[in-house]
Amino acid sequence: SDDELHARIRAAKETLGNKLVILGHFYQRDEVIQHADFVGDSFQLANAALTMPDAEAIVFCGVHFMAETADILARPEQHVILPNLAAGCSMADMADEDTVEACWEELMDIYGSEPDADGKQPVIPVTYMNSSAALKAFCGRNGGIVCTSSNASTVLEWAFERGQRVLFFPDQHLGRNTAKAMGITMDQMPMWNPRKPLGGHTEEVLLDAKVLLWHGFCSVHKRFTVGQIKKAREEFPGVKIIVHPEAPMPVVDAADASGSTDAIRKFVEASQPGDTIAIGTEVNMVNRLAAEYPDRTIFCLDPVVCPCSTMYRIHPGYLAWTLDGLVEGEIRNEIIVDGDTATYAKVALERMLSALP
């Protein structure tokens, strides 16, 4: 039964003490979050993994790319565990190493590989945290950097100090929303189509480009629409609307604010009793905020429930199973990023950390 599962998890935590740390992303279901030692956005959880010197096991209740990042940043003797190995991220899967490498080669043919008179590289690759370790390593090897939704504009500024343009992957929406807020125009941010020569563009377009967008997207956040925002404003005059920057640009433009999952939490924290807040992000997080602030009206913009189906694959049953293993001295579902990939991915992650104020 559920009660037995939760009791097993609590007992294992008690036995393992500070040798174990459980991290939970905001999108995890409540039955998992109740056991997490740290809850946060993807950037905060990557940092949390760094600051746990006693933990021998980091159990990551999130998705695969997050556990990979924790393993890259963790000390070599720490074990990172993903309770269900099928918890991937469909957006991260939209940029594979071979396709990005092929694009890069085409770009090098057009732009060359030498810096200009100001010492700026022709292209800086920037990958969103929601990508495989292999792509983070690609960025590490090619003068590039990682960003999260909480620091994308700071990272793009870092990139433009060093390069004439940026190749941004996998999320077209985060790339477009961030570039637009920096004053880059739509014709300066063409989307690369890997099935067409030159990504489907003329050389002139590519030479004028400031940000080359990959075609990836999040299936949860692409569901939000301007129509939903209009409806919320009609039904609840004075409603405050915040969406995640993985939502399409017209949705971000129509909202009052956009930000990472932690920025969304802070937005709610800063609101007043009696306020009505509509949120464009994963529903488990929205429902939890609604329960935490019963004196406000908080709801998800999408009336059809929209959980992240892969985050949802972390069930308390898998958590209990991995913790039972640890108690018995068996590491189950360990995520290990191989040496070379980890080394270069860490270069790109450390560039991100050093770019931040």
CB closer to ligand 13P, 43 vs 168: 43
The one of ligand SF4, ligand 13P, none whose footprint includes residue 310, by CB under 5 to 8 A per kind, is ligand SF4
Which residue of 28, 121, 130, 132 would you call a contact of ligand 13P, by CB under 6 A? 130
Which residue of 80, 126, 255, 308 would you call a contact of ligand SF4, by CB under 6 A? 308
Q: How far apart are CA 217 and CA 296, in angstroms?
A: 31
Q: How far is CA 40 from CA 10, 30, 177, in A?
A: 21, 13, 22
Virtual CA dihedral for 316, 322, 326, 328, nearest 10 degrees?
100
Q: Which amino acid is it at 349?
A: L
Q: Does 220 help bind ligand SF4 (rule: CB under 6 A)?
A: yes
Q: If 0-12 CB within 10 Å is exposed, 13-18 middle and 19+ buried, where does residue 51 land?
A: exposed
Q: Does 28 help bind ligand 13P (rule: CB under 6 A)?
A: no
Q: How far apart are CA 70 and CA 64, in angstroms?
A: 10
CB closer to ligand SF4, 8 vs 246: 246
CB closer to ligand 13P, 18 vs 309: 309
Q: Is 246 annotated as a binding residue?
A: yes
Query: Binding marks (x or -) toward ligand SF4, 178..217, rule CB under 6 A?
Result: ----------------------------------------
CB closer to ligand SF4, 213 vs 308: 308
**Shortest Cβ distance from residue 48 to ligand 13P (Å)?**
12
Q: How far apart are CA 224 and CA 217, in angstroms?
A: 12
Q: Is 215 annotated as a binding residue?
A: no
Q: Are 71 and 77 in contact (CB under 8 A)?
A: no
Q: Does 149 help bind ligand 13P (rule: CB under 6 A)?
A: yes
Q: Does 132 help bind ligand SF4 (rule: CB under 6 A)?
A: no
**Shortest Cβ distance from residue 223 to ligand SF4 (Å)?**
10
Query: Which positions ≥6 away from 289 have C-beta within 8 Å?
Result: 264, 265, 268, 279, 298
Query: Binding marks (x or -) toward ligand SF4, 93..122, rule CB under 6 A?
Result: ------------------------------
Query: Binding marks (x or -) toward ligand 13P, 246..285, rule CB under 6 A?
Result: x-------------xx------------------------
DSSP 311: G
Which among 39-47, 135-143, 176-184, 269-277 is the span making contact with ligand 13P, rule CB under 6 A? 39-47
Residue 280 three-state SS: strand
User: 3-state secondary structure string, 127-192?
Assistant: EECCCCHHHHHHHHHCCCEEECCCCHHHHHHHHHHHECCEEEECEHHHHHHHHHHCCCCHHHCCEC
Q: Does 130 help bind ligand SF4 (rule: CB under 6 A)?
A: yes
Q: Does 90 help bind ligand SF4 (rule: CB under 6 A)?
A: yes
DSSP letters, 1-69, are: -HHHHHHHHHHHHHHHGGGEEEEEETTS-HHHHTT-SEEE-HHHHHHHHHT-TT-SEEEEES-HHHHHH
Number of residues that bind ligand 13P (CB under 6 A): 11
Residues that bind ligand SF4 (CB under 6 A): 63, 89-91, 130, 218-220, 246, 282, 308, 310-311
Applying CB under 6 A, the residues found at the interface with ligand 13P are 41-43, 130, 148-149, 218, 244, 246, 260-261
